[in-house]
Amino acid sequence: MKILVLNCGSSSVKYQFFDLDKNLALCKGLVDRIGMAGAVLAHSRYDGEKINLVAEILDHTMAIEYVVAILMSKNHGVIATQKDIDAVGHRVVHGGETFSGSIKITDDVIRVLHENIGLAPLHNPPNIKGIQAVTRLLPDTPQVGVFDTAFHSNMPHKAFLYGIPYELYKKHKIRRYGFHGTSHRFVSASAASMMNKDISELKIVTAHLGNGCSMAAVDRGKSIDTTMGFTPLEGLLMGTRSGDMDPSVILYIMGKEELTSSEANTLLNKHSGLTGISGESSDMRDIITSMKEGHKRSRYAFEVFCYRIKKYIGAYAAAMGGLDALVFTGGIGENSADVRAEVCKDLGFLGLEIDGKKNDSREDDISAPNSRVKVFRISTDEELVIARDTQEIVKGN
């Protein structure tokens, strides 16, 4: 089966096209700056062929029209006709409490996605636009929604309820949802197969550390807790997001700095985290370089970042009553030996120790030979999960 995977953002469409029968990603690309002057489509094929197009791309429908056209292009494409696209899988950020797994898109599903816009005002509208664009362009092609929140949807009440009046949870759906679920699902399953064990026997902590960062406690294949909450602002320190803090701080800053709620939202989402503490950058590479040059605030940012991850490893080992594996993924988790070393320092009491040489040489299994807990560095592949889910659901129908 050939599956087109789409990840529609507010001004971008990321795509990847898979031939699952051959286990091959045939091509992938990004349409960026949609609705702005000089939109760019960057396309690359599995054989290394690459092309960049600059065009006026006014909206998501046009962007997806370009994507379908380049898939069929004589020189750069991989298929002959639109009919070669068997199904389209969409990354959808927020499934709310309705969707606990991937689902075939129907009018009812679109209606619920609309109802959930309030929970993800930045993300769900472009996801819906992408679905509607495909409905217009490829009306006979089945579509599937794969939700960032779904993997966490079976968290117990003790993990997802906030300590606020229960009526507010019922009335406004204010609870912890968690995000990056597709990534946590993929890397925890990969870790189990690398250990040659069934995931139903394992207690795994997964750390997805990219621009956004979150961790999950994956107990026998199910996420029982995760660090992101009602929105992706809770939990770990991130590039520009604050993560956990005393909620009173927000009210105090709003009073002292005379900020509106929208300004406070921008402060916490865009000017905090690594950027806020270091005053230098949101990029971990810059933070590490400047820390090594002796910049004090960059060292604080690095230390807060790693310390929070370490604390959640302990918390989740306690929540699961044990720990068999720790997985690092995401741009930082996969690439920063410094972060992995700092996080894993002094965790010998948990039976967790990494091998410094393996960590530096970017092996997949970076555990020390005597470490009871396995430590992995695994490249996440959310698009592949979306393609596989899409195939399974379409075949099942």
Q: How far apart are CA 133 and CA 383, in angstroms?
A: 19
Structure tokens at 122: 């930045």
Binding residue for ligand AMP (CB under 6 A) from 92, 238, 309, 332?
332
- Closer to ligand AMP by CB, 116 or 298: give it: 298
Distance CA 12, CA 6 (A): 10
Q: Does 289 bind ligand AMP (CB under 6 A)?
A: no
When binding is defined by CB under 6 A, the residue of 35, 125, 331, 351 that contacts ligand AMP is 331
183 binds ligand AMP (CB under 6 A): no
Site membership for ligand AMP, residue 239 (CB under 6 A):
yes
Closer by beta carbon to ligand AMP, 77 or else 210: 210
Q: Give yes or no for a contact between 8 and 129, defined as CB atoms under 8 angstroms apart.
A: yes
Residue from 330, 340, 386, 394 binding ligand AMP (CB under 6 A): 330
Task: From 57-65, 81-89, 136-144, 280-288, give the range in contact with ligand AMP by CB under 6 A.
Answer: 280-288
Among 83, 111, 114, 285, binds ligand AMP (CB under 6 A): 285
Report the residue number whose CB is nearest to ligand AMP.
331
CA dist 337 and 319 (Å) reads 27
Cβ 27 to ligand AMP shortest distance, Å? 20
CB nearer to ligand AMP: give 210 or 229. Answer: 210
Asked if 277 is part of the footprint of ligand AMP (rule: CB under 6 A), the reply reads no
Give the CA count within 13 Å in the CB-facing half-sphere of 120.
27
For residue 94, which amino acid is it?
A: H
Q: Which residue has the tokens 């800053």?
A: 253
The answer to whether 223 and 208 are in contact (CB under 8 A) is no
| 391 part of the interface to ligand AMP, by CB under 6 A | no
Q: Does 101 bind ligand AMP (CB under 6 A)?
A: no
Share of the chain residues as helix, strand and coil, in percent rounded to the nearest 5 = 45, 20, 35
> Strands across the sheet with 103-104, in order?
50-55, 39-45, 24-32, 13-19, 2-8, 87-92, 143-147, 103-104
Cα–Cα nearest to 328, from 236, 245, 241, 240: 236
**Active site (annotated) includes residue 225:** no
Nearer to ligand AMP, 181 or 330 (CB): 330
Where in the sequence numbering do the catalytic residues fall? 148
Interaction site with ligand AMP (CB under 6 A): 210-211, 239, 283-285, 330-332, 335-336
